[in-house]
Amino acid sequence: MTQPSLLSRITDYANRADPYPLYAELRRTPVLHEEEGGPYVVGSYYDILGLLHDPRVSSDASNLTAAGDDDLSGPEATGLPPSFIRLDPPEHDRLRRIANSSFGPPHRPHRIDSMREELAGIVRELIDGLGETRQIDIVDEFAYPFPVTVICRLLGVPREDEPKFRGWVDPLVASLDPDTRKNADDEFQQAAQEARMQLGMYLAGLVEQRTKEPRDDMLSDLATSHGADGTMSMMEVLSTAVLLLIAGHETTVNLITNGMLTLLRHPEVLQRLREDPGLSVNIVEELLRYEPPVQLVPQRTCIADIELRGVTIPKGSRIWLVLGAGNRDPERFKDPDRFDPDREDIQHLGFGSGIHSCFGAPLARLEAQLALAELARRLENPRLVEDPPPYRRNAVLRGPRHLQVTVDGIR
Protein backbone atom coordinates (compact mmCIF):
# COMPACT_ATOMS: atom_id res chain seq x y z
CA MET A 1 0.00 0.00 0.00
CA THR A 2 1.38 3.44 -0.85
CA GLN A 3 1.89 5.90 1.97
CA PRO A 4 -0.51 8.89 1.87
CA SER A 5 1.18 12.18 0.93
CA LEU A 6 2.89 14.12 3.69
CA LEU A 7 0.54 17.05 3.16
CA SER A 8 -2.53 14.84 3.55
CA ARG A 9 -1.03 13.44 6.76
CA ILE A 10 -0.46 16.98 8.03
CA THR A 11 -4.08 17.96 7.39
CA ASP A 12 -5.44 14.56 8.55
CA TYR A 13 -7.50 14.99 11.72
CA ALA A 14 -5.94 11.84 13.17
CA ASN A 15 -2.67 13.79 13.54
CA ARG A 16 -4.14 16.99 14.92
CA ALA A 17 -3.06 16.44 18.53
CA ASP A 18 0.61 16.21 17.58
CA PRO A 19 1.54 17.41 14.09
CA TYR A 20 5.13 18.25 15.09
CA PRO A 21 6.88 15.01 14.00
CA LEU A 22 5.27 15.52 10.57
CA TYR A 23 6.57 19.09 10.51
CA ALA A 24 10.09 17.77 11.17
CA GLU A 25 9.62 15.52 8.14
CA LEU A 26 8.36 18.51 6.14
CA ARG A 27 11.46 20.58 6.94
CA ARG A 28 13.64 17.88 5.35
CA THR A 29 12.18 18.90 1.94
CA PRO A 30 12.74 22.65 1.48
CA VAL A 31 9.78 23.02 -0.92
CA LEU A 32 7.24 20.21 -0.80
CA HIS A 33 5.15 19.78 -3.94
CA GLU A 34 3.53 16.37 -4.02
CA GLU A 35 0.71 16.75 -6.48
CA GLU A 36 0.20 18.39 -9.86
CA GLY A 37 -1.88 21.52 -9.19
CA GLY A 38 -1.33 21.20 -5.44
CA PRO A 39 0.27 23.85 -3.24
CA TYR A 40 4.01 24.38 -2.70
CA VAL A 41 4.52 23.87 1.02
CA VAL A 42 7.32 25.49 3.00
CA GLY A 43 8.21 24.68 6.62
CA SER A 44 11.66 26.17 7.34
CA TYR A 45 11.79 29.31 9.45
CA TYR A 46 13.99 31.49 7.25
CA ASP A 47 12.24 30.47 4.02
CA ILE A 48 8.82 31.25 5.50
CA LEU A 49 10.07 34.60 6.77
CA GLY A 50 11.50 35.47 3.35
CA LEU A 51 8.27 34.56 1.56
CA LEU A 52 6.11 36.53 4.02
CA HIS A 53 8.15 39.60 3.04
CA ASP A 54 8.30 38.86 -0.70
CA PRO A 55 6.17 41.15 -2.90
CA ARG A 56 5.95 38.35 -5.49
CA VAL A 57 3.79 36.46 -2.99
CA SER A 58 0.24 37.78 -3.14
CA SER A 59 -2.60 37.65 -0.61
CA ASP A 60 -5.14 38.95 -3.08
CA ALA A 61 -8.38 36.93 -3.01
CA SER A 62 -8.78 37.05 -6.80
CA ASN A 63 -5.30 35.56 -7.37
CA LEU A 64 -6.13 32.77 -4.98
CA THR A 65 -9.40 32.01 -6.74
CA ALA A 66 -7.58 32.04 -10.08
CA ALA A 67 -5.13 29.51 -8.61
CA GLY A 68 -8.07 27.18 -7.93
CA ASP A 69 -8.68 27.78 -4.22
CA ASP A 70 -12.16 28.54 -2.92
CA ASP A 71 -11.20 30.56 0.09
CA LEU A 72 -13.93 29.70 2.50
CA SER A 73 -12.17 30.78 5.63
CA GLY A 74 -12.12 34.53 5.05
CA PRO A 75 -14.75 37.12 5.75
CA GLU A 76 -15.57 37.07 2.04
CA ALA A 77 -17.66 34.02 2.87
CA THR A 78 -20.02 36.58 4.37
CA GLY A 79 -20.82 38.09 0.96
CA LEU A 80 -18.85 41.28 1.67
CA PRO A 81 -15.97 42.57 -0.50
CA PRO A 82 -12.47 41.30 0.43
CA SER A 83 -11.13 42.77 3.64
CA PHE A 84 -7.51 43.90 3.89
CA ILE A 85 -6.18 40.45 4.89
CA ARG A 86 -7.09 39.35 1.32
CA LEU A 87 -5.77 42.41 -0.51
CA ASP A 88 -2.34 43.48 -1.76
CA PRO A 89 -0.87 46.98 -1.64
CA PRO A 90 -1.86 49.70 -2.20
CA GLU A 91 -5.45 48.88 -1.13
CA HIS A 92 -4.28 46.70 1.75
CA ASP A 93 -2.08 49.46 3.12
CA ARG A 94 -4.75 52.15 2.82
CA LEU A 95 -7.40 50.14 4.68
CA ARG A 96 -4.98 48.80 7.29
CA ARG A 97 -3.71 52.32 8.01
CA ILE A 98 -7.25 53.64 8.50
CA ALA A 99 -8.08 50.75 10.84
CA ASN A 100 -4.80 51.22 12.65
CA SER A 101 -5.43 54.89 13.30
CA SER A 102 -8.32 53.79 15.50
CA PHE A 103 -6.39 50.97 17.15
CA GLY A 104 -3.37 52.85 18.39
CA PRO A 105 -0.18 54.83 17.89
CA PRO A 106 1.01 57.04 16.31
CA HIS A 107 -2.40 58.72 16.13
CA ARG A 108 -3.65 58.15 19.67
CA PRO A 109 -2.79 56.32 22.90
CA HIS A 110 -3.16 52.62 22.37
CA ARG A 111 -6.85 51.70 22.58
CA ILE A 112 -5.82 48.30 23.90
CA ASP A 113 -3.84 49.73 26.83
CA SER A 114 -6.88 51.67 27.91
CA MET A 115 -8.92 48.44 27.86
CA ARG A 116 -6.68 46.61 30.35
CA GLU A 117 -8.97 47.12 33.36
CA GLU A 118 -12.06 46.32 31.36
CA LEU A 119 -10.52 43.08 30.08
CA ALA A 120 -9.42 42.09 33.58
CA GLY A 121 -13.03 42.69 34.70
CA ILE A 122 -14.41 40.41 31.97
CA VAL A 123 -11.95 37.66 32.97
CA ARG A 124 -12.98 38.02 36.63
CA GLU A 125 -16.68 37.87 35.80
CA LEU A 126 -16.28 34.75 33.68
CA ILE A 127 -14.31 32.94 36.39
CA ASP A 128 -16.78 34.10 39.08
CA GLY A 129 -19.54 32.68 36.87
CA LEU A 130 -18.03 29.18 37.18
CA GLY A 131 -19.49 29.16 40.72
CA GLU A 132 -19.06 25.94 42.68
CA THR A 133 -18.30 23.83 39.60
CA ARG A 134 -15.77 21.03 40.09
CA GLN A 135 -15.34 20.19 36.42
CA ILE A 136 -14.83 22.96 33.90
CA ASP A 137 -14.64 23.01 30.14
CA ILE A 138 -12.05 25.76 29.69
CA VAL A 139 -13.16 26.22 26.07
CA ASP A 140 -16.94 26.58 26.38
CA GLU A 141 -17.00 28.26 29.76
CA PHE A 142 -14.09 30.63 29.42
CA ALA A 143 -11.84 30.78 26.37
CA TYR A 144 -14.70 30.98 23.85
CA PRO A 145 -16.97 33.62 25.45
CA PHE A 146 -14.04 35.87 26.39
CA PRO A 147 -12.93 37.12 22.93
CA VAL A 148 -16.51 37.74 21.71
CA THR A 149 -17.21 39.94 24.71
CA VAL A 150 -13.94 41.76 24.11
CA ILE A 151 -14.56 42.33 20.41
CA CYS A 152 -18.06 43.67 21.23
CA ARG A 153 -16.53 46.26 23.57
CA LEU A 154 -13.82 47.14 21.06
CA LEU A 155 -16.18 47.68 18.16
CA GLY A 156 -18.77 49.34 20.35
CA VAL A 157 -21.60 46.81 20.33
CA PRO A 158 -23.91 47.88 23.19
CA ARG A 159 -23.74 45.55 26.14
CA GLU A 160 -27.43 44.69 26.04
CA ASP A 161 -27.02 43.47 22.44
CA GLU A 162 -24.09 41.18 23.23
CA PRO A 163 -26.19 37.99 23.66
CA LYS A 164 -27.99 38.66 20.36
CA PHE A 165 -24.68 39.43 18.67
CA ARG A 166 -23.11 36.23 20.02
CA GLY A 167 -26.07 34.26 18.76
CA TRP A 168 -25.18 35.37 15.21
CA VAL A 169 -21.43 35.16 15.57
CA ASP A 170 -21.33 31.56 16.85
CA PRO A 171 -22.91 29.87 13.79
CA LEU A 172 -21.01 32.23 11.50
CA VAL A 173 -17.65 31.33 13.00
CA ALA A 174 -18.57 27.62 13.07
CA SER A 175 -19.47 27.79 9.37
CA LEU A 176 -16.04 29.16 8.47
CA ASP A 177 -14.36 25.87 9.36
CA PRO A 178 -13.93 24.10 5.99
CA ASP A 179 -14.57 20.67 7.48
CA THR A 180 -17.70 21.71 9.34
CA ARG A 181 -18.99 23.21 6.10
CA LYS A 182 -18.30 20.03 4.18
CA ASN A 183 -20.32 17.93 6.62
CA ALA A 184 -23.04 20.50 7.30
CA ASP A 185 -26.69 19.58 6.73
CA ASP A 186 -29.28 21.95 5.21
CA GLU A 187 -30.48 23.12 8.58
CA PHE A 188 -26.97 24.16 9.64
CA GLN A 189 -26.37 25.93 6.31
CA GLN A 190 -29.62 27.81 6.64
CA ALA A 191 -28.90 28.84 10.23
CA ALA A 192 -25.44 30.11 9.21
CA GLN A 193 -26.87 32.00 6.25
CA GLU A 194 -29.55 33.57 8.42
CA ALA A 195 -27.00 34.51 11.10
CA ARG A 196 -24.77 36.11 8.49
CA MET A 197 -27.62 38.22 7.17
CA GLN A 198 -28.78 39.30 10.60
CA LEU A 199 -25.24 40.18 11.68
CA GLY A 200 -24.68 42.21 8.49
CA MET A 201 -27.94 44.11 8.99
CA TYR A 202 -27.20 44.70 12.63
CA LEU A 203 -23.68 46.02 11.95
CA ALA A 204 -24.94 48.23 9.10
CA GLY A 205 -27.50 49.77 11.47
CA LEU A 206 -24.84 50.36 14.07
CA VAL A 207 -22.45 51.92 11.53
CA GLU A 208 -25.20 54.26 10.35
CA GLN A 209 -25.88 55.30 13.94
CA ARG A 210 -22.19 55.87 14.69
CA THR A 211 -21.75 57.93 11.52
CA LYS A 212 -24.35 60.36 12.86
CA GLU A 213 -23.35 60.18 16.52
CA PRO A 214 -19.77 58.92 16.89
CA ARG A 215 -18.65 57.47 20.21
CA ASP A 216 -15.30 56.30 21.57
CA ASP A 217 -15.23 52.94 19.81
CA MET A 218 -13.72 51.39 16.69
CA LEU A 219 -16.90 51.32 14.61
CA SER A 220 -17.30 55.08 15.08
CA ASP A 221 -13.66 55.65 14.11
CA LEU A 222 -13.92 53.45 11.01
CA ALA A 223 -17.19 55.07 9.95
CA THR A 224 -15.92 58.63 10.37
CA SER A 225 -12.28 58.23 9.27
CA HIS A 226 -11.04 61.16 7.20
CA GLY A 227 -7.22 61.24 7.43
CA ALA A 228 -4.59 61.27 4.68
CA ASP A 229 -5.95 57.91 3.50
CA GLY A 230 -9.45 59.22 2.94
CA THR A 231 -12.55 57.45 4.18
CA MET A 232 -13.81 53.89 4.22
CA SER A 233 -17.00 53.17 2.30
CA MET A 234 -19.88 51.56 4.22
CA MET A 235 -19.00 48.16 2.68
CA GLU A 236 -15.33 48.60 3.63
CA VAL A 237 -16.30 49.43 7.21
CA LEU A 238 -18.50 46.32 7.33
CA SER A 239 -15.87 43.98 5.89
CA THR A 240 -13.23 45.41 8.25
CA ALA A 241 -15.58 44.92 11.22
CA VAL A 242 -16.25 41.31 10.20
CA LEU A 243 -12.52 40.73 9.67
CA LEU A 244 -11.72 41.98 13.17
CA LEU A 245 -14.52 39.89 14.55
CA ILE A 246 -13.38 36.66 12.92
CA ALA A 247 -9.59 37.14 12.95
CA GLY A 248 -9.64 37.78 16.66
CA HIS A 249 -11.93 34.93 17.54
CA GLU A 250 -10.92 31.34 16.90
CA THR A 251 -7.30 32.42 17.24
CA THR A 252 -7.57 33.85 20.75
CA VAL A 253 -9.70 30.90 21.95
CA ASN A 254 -6.93 28.58 20.81
CA LEU A 255 -4.11 30.62 22.32
CA ILE A 256 -5.79 30.52 25.74
CA THR A 257 -6.74 26.85 25.47
CA ASN A 258 -3.38 25.70 24.06
CA GLY A 259 -1.87 27.77 26.86
CA MET A 260 -3.85 26.11 29.63
CA LEU A 261 -3.14 22.66 28.17
CA THR A 262 0.59 23.38 27.96
CA LEU A 263 0.66 24.73 31.53
CA LEU A 264 -1.15 21.65 32.84
CA ARG A 265 1.47 19.53 31.11
CA HIS A 266 4.21 21.66 32.74
CA PRO A 267 3.00 22.02 36.35
CA GLU A 268 6.26 23.66 37.47
CA VAL A 269 5.62 26.55 35.04
CA LEU A 270 1.98 26.76 36.18
CA GLN A 271 3.19 27.07 39.78
CA ARG A 272 5.66 29.81 38.83
CA LEU A 273 2.88 31.72 37.05
CA ARG A 274 0.64 31.40 40.13
CA GLU A 275 3.37 33.04 42.19
CA ASP A 276 4.38 35.62 39.57
CA PRO A 277 1.61 36.80 37.18
CA GLY A 278 4.26 38.88 35.34
CA LEU A 279 5.64 35.63 33.92
CA SER A 280 2.52 35.53 31.69
CA VAL A 281 4.29 37.86 29.23
CA ASN A 282 7.06 35.35 28.48
CA ILE A 283 4.71 32.39 28.70
CA VAL A 284 2.40 33.82 26.04
CA GLU A 285 5.33 34.61 23.73
CA GLU A 286 6.71 31.10 24.09
CA LEU A 287 3.22 29.65 23.50
CA LEU A 288 2.94 31.58 20.24
CA ARG A 289 6.10 29.77 19.17
CA TYR A 290 5.51 26.35 20.71
CA GLU A 291 1.74 25.89 20.08
CA PRO A 292 0.73 28.65 17.63
CA PRO A 293 -3.05 28.98 17.12
CA VAL A 294 -2.50 29.69 13.40
CA GLN A 295 -0.52 26.67 12.23
CA LEU A 296 -0.30 27.58 8.61
CA VAL A 297 -1.04 30.36 6.17
CA PRO A 298 -2.58 28.73 3.09
CA GLN A 299 -3.85 31.82 1.29
CA ARG A 300 -0.87 32.94 -0.76
CA THR A 301 -0.25 32.88 -4.54
CA CYS A 302 2.97 33.49 -6.51
CA ILE A 303 2.56 36.30 -9.01
CA ALA A 304 5.98 35.63 -10.58
CA ASP A 305 8.29 32.58 -10.74
CA ILE A 306 10.18 32.25 -7.46
CA GLU A 307 13.45 30.31 -7.08
CA LEU A 308 13.82 28.81 -3.64
CA ARG A 309 16.64 26.42 -2.72
CA GLY A 310 16.96 25.15 -6.26
CA VAL A 311 13.21 24.75 -6.83
CA THR A 312 11.19 26.96 -9.16
CA ILE A 313 7.77 27.81 -7.78
CA PRO A 314 5.93 28.79 -10.96
CA LYS A 315 3.87 31.93 -11.28
CA GLY A 316 0.21 31.25 -10.43
CA SER A 317 0.96 28.52 -7.85
CA ARG A 318 -0.47 28.43 -4.37
CA ILE A 319 1.96 28.51 -1.45
CA TRP A 320 1.35 27.20 2.04
CA LEU A 321 3.56 28.56 4.80
CA VAL A 322 3.56 26.25 7.80
CA LEU A 323 4.21 28.66 10.67
CA GLY A 324 3.97 25.83 13.22
CA ALA A 325 6.88 24.05 11.48
CA GLY A 326 9.00 27.20 11.19
CA ASN A 327 8.53 27.85 14.90
CA ARG A 328 10.13 24.48 15.71
CA ASP A 329 12.98 24.78 13.22
CA PRO A 330 16.25 23.76 14.91
CA GLU A 331 18.15 25.98 12.45
CA ARG A 332 16.47 28.93 14.16
CA PHE A 333 15.65 27.88 17.74
CA LYS A 334 17.77 25.97 20.19
CA ASP A 335 16.03 22.87 21.54
CA PRO A 336 12.84 23.84 19.66
CA ASP A 337 10.60 21.06 21.01
CA ARG A 338 11.07 22.25 24.58
CA PHE A 339 8.50 24.63 26.11
CA ASP A 340 10.75 27.17 27.78
CA PRO A 341 9.26 30.44 29.03
CA ASP A 342 12.78 31.61 29.97
CA ARG A 343 13.86 31.56 26.33
CA GLU A 344 15.32 34.92 25.37
CA ASP A 345 15.58 34.54 21.62
CA ILE A 346 11.94 34.30 20.65
CA GLN A 347 11.15 35.94 17.31
CA HIS A 348 8.35 33.45 16.53
CA LEU A 349 6.11 33.37 13.47
CA GLY A 350 2.91 33.01 15.51
CA PHE A 351 1.58 36.36 14.29
CA GLY A 352 3.01 35.99 10.78
CA SER A 353 5.40 38.68 9.56
CA GLY A 354 5.59 41.40 6.91
CA ILE A 355 2.76 43.64 5.77
CA HIS A 356 0.03 41.19 6.84
CA SER A 357 1.48 40.47 10.29
CA CYS A 358 -1.25 40.28 12.90
CA PHE A 359 -3.02 43.55 13.36
CA GLY A 360 -4.58 42.44 16.64
CA ALA A 361 -1.34 41.19 18.25
CA PRO A 362 -1.35 43.70 21.16
CA LEU A 363 -4.93 42.74 22.01
CA ALA A 364 -4.33 39.00 21.63
CA ARG A 365 -1.25 39.16 23.85
CA LEU A 366 -3.03 41.10 26.57
CA GLU A 367 -6.11 38.84 26.50
CA ALA A 368 -4.01 35.70 26.82
CA GLN A 369 -1.72 37.14 29.50
CA LEU A 370 -4.65 38.23 31.69
CA ALA A 371 -6.58 35.01 31.10
CA LEU A 372 -3.75 32.60 31.89
CA ALA A 373 -2.49 34.52 34.93
CA GLU A 374 -5.99 34.64 36.42
CA LEU A 375 -6.80 30.99 35.66
CA ALA A 376 -3.50 30.00 37.29
CA ARG A 377 -4.28 32.11 40.37
CA ARG A 378 -7.90 31.09 40.86
CA LEU A 379 -8.24 27.43 39.87
CA GLU A 380 -7.32 25.26 42.83
CA ASN A 381 -5.30 22.19 41.92
CA PRO A 382 -6.45 21.95 38.28
CA ARG A 383 -6.03 18.54 36.58
CA LEU A 384 -6.56 17.45 33.00
CA VAL A 385 -9.43 14.99 32.53
CA GLU A 386 -8.22 13.78 29.14
CA ASP A 387 -4.80 14.10 27.52
CA PRO A 388 -4.70 14.71 24.63
CA PRO A 389 -8.08 16.46 24.64
CA PRO A 390 -10.42 16.28 21.62
CA TYR A 391 -9.26 18.76 18.96
CA ARG A 392 -11.19 21.00 16.60
CA ARG A 393 -11.14 19.59 13.07
CA ASN A 394 -9.52 22.71 11.61
CA ALA A 395 -5.86 22.17 10.59
CA VAL A 396 -5.22 25.89 10.08
CA LEU A 397 -6.66 27.26 13.31
CA ARG A 398 -5.59 24.46 15.61
CA GLY A 399 -6.69 23.96 19.20
CA PRO A 400 -8.74 21.71 21.51
CA ARG A 401 -12.52 21.67 21.00
CA HIS A 402 -12.95 20.96 24.70
CA LEU A 403 -10.52 21.12 27.59
CA GLN A 404 -12.06 19.42 30.60
CA VAL A 405 -10.32 20.25 33.84
CA THR A 406 -11.22 19.17 37.38
CA VAL A 407 -10.51 21.52 40.26
CA ASP A 408 -10.74 21.34 44.06
CA GLY A 409 -12.35 24.77 44.08
CA ILE A 410 -12.22 28.29 42.73
CA ARG A 411 -10.54 31.00 44.77
Footprint on this chain of ligand HEM (rule: CB under 6 A): 59, 84-85, 96, 243-244, 247-248, 251-252, 255, 293-294, 297, 350-352, 356, 358-360, 363-364
Q: How far is the CB of 359 from ligand HEM (least distance, A)?
A: 4
Q: How far is the CB of 97 from ligand HEM (least distance, A)?
A: 10
In sequence order, the 6+-apart residues with CB closer than 8 A to the CB of 403 are 137, 138, 139, 143, 257, 260, 261, 384, 389
Instruction: Select 96 or 318, whichever has its Cβ closest to ligand HEM.
Output: 96
Closest to 319 in 3D by CA, of 5, 4, 3, 7? 7
* Measured distance CA(269)–CA(336) in Å, rounded: 17
Q: How far is the CB of 356 from ligand HEM (least distance, A)?
A: 4
Q: How far is the CB of 264 from ligand HEM (least distance, A)?
A: 19
Side chain identity at 212, as an amino acid letter?
A: K
Instruction: Select 96 or 196, whichever has its Cβ closest to ligand HEM.
Output: 96
Side chain identity at 78, as an amino acid letter?
A: T
* Measured distance CA(275)–CA(270) in Å, rounded: 9
Q: How far is the CB of 14 from ligand HEM (least distance, A)?
A: 24
Instruction: Select 27 or 356, whichever has its Cβ closest to ligand HEM.
Output: 356
> Which residue of the chain is nearest ligand HEM when measured via CB?
360
Instruction: Evaluate whether 281 touches 369 at the Cβ level (below 8 Å).
Output: yes
Instruction: Select 73 or 407, whichever has its Cβ closest to ligand HEM.
Output: 73
* Measured distance CA(12)–CA(9) in Å, rounded: 5
Instruction: Select 26 or 288, whichever has its Cβ closest to ligand HEM.
Output: 288
Instruction: Select 293 or 400, whichever has its Cβ closest to ligand HEM.
Output: 293
Q: How far is the CB of 322 from ligand HEM (least distance, A)?
A: 12
What separation in angstroms does the CA of 283 have from each of 47, 75, 204, 286, 368?
Answer: 26, 30, 39, 5, 10
* Measured distance CA(207)–CA(19) in Å, rounded: 42
